[in-house]
Amino acid sequence: MHVIAKNKKAYYEYFINETLEAGIVLTGDEVKSLREGKVSINESFAETENGELWLINANISSYKNSSKILISDEKRKRKLLVKKKDISTFQGKVEREGYTIIPIKIYFNTKGMAKIEIAVAKGKKLYDKREDKKQKDWNKQKQRLLRSFK
């Protein structure tokens, strides 16, 4: 598994409930851009539309050697390939419980196929974010203290 891009803000801004691997429909130029690592999923999310799951606002830059005539929108909607059962489960959580579907990472699997890990997540409040930061700082400080006593 070769990880291309991670959504580092996801674990800071959301409580991750459930994750799922999905395929992603891309053009040839977009695949080449992925191989170069020119992708950003920090501001992206997924939503259901007509029983299909779509990735919205993911920025995949255009390939440098591609034809200038066929340049497509870098933030276009991209279809995610997921089973109908999983889509209905995710859609139910989004509609009833106020969850959001966010991408966690994009990677190439062992067969060379582009995959995206998506998660059903609930947004954190400001005090939750502060608590996580305190906990993270405390863990760092504990590690420093333990190293100094060895």
pLDDT tens for each residue of 14-68: 888 889 999 999 888 888 888 888 888 888 999 898 889 999 998 888 777 766 6
- pLDDT band of residue 71 (cuts 50, 70, 90) is low
Q: Is 136 helix (H, G, I), strand (E, B) or coil?
A: helix
19 domain-assigned: yes
CB burial of 115-147 (b: ≥16 within 10 Å; e: otherwise) equals bbbbbbbeebeeeeeeeeeeeeeeeeeeeeeee
Answer whether residue 143 is part of any domain.
no
pLDDT tens per residue, range 100-144: 999 999 999 999 898 999 999 988 888 888 988 899 999 999 999
pLDDT at 8 over 90: no
User: Is residue 138, in this structure, part of any structural domain at all?
Assistant: no
Euclidean distance between CA atoms 52 and 7, whole angstroms: 22
| 113 within a domain of the structure (yes/no) | yes
CATH number at residue 106: 2.40.280.10
Domain range spanning residue 40? 2-124
In a domain, 71, yes or no: yes
| Residue 76 pLDDT | 84
The pLDDT value recorded for residue 68 is 64
pLDDT for 61: 80
Whole-number pLDDT of residue 103: 93
Asked, for residue 98, whether it belongs to a domain, the answer is yes
115 vs 143: CA distance, rounded Å? 35
The reply to whether 133 falls in a domain is no
* pTM metric for this prediction: 0.79
Please give the tally of structural domains in the chain: 1
Element (H, E) at 46: strand 45-49
Predicted local confidence at residue 95, as pLDDT: 86
For residue 27, being part of any structural domain is answered with: yes
Residue-level pLDDT at 28 = 82
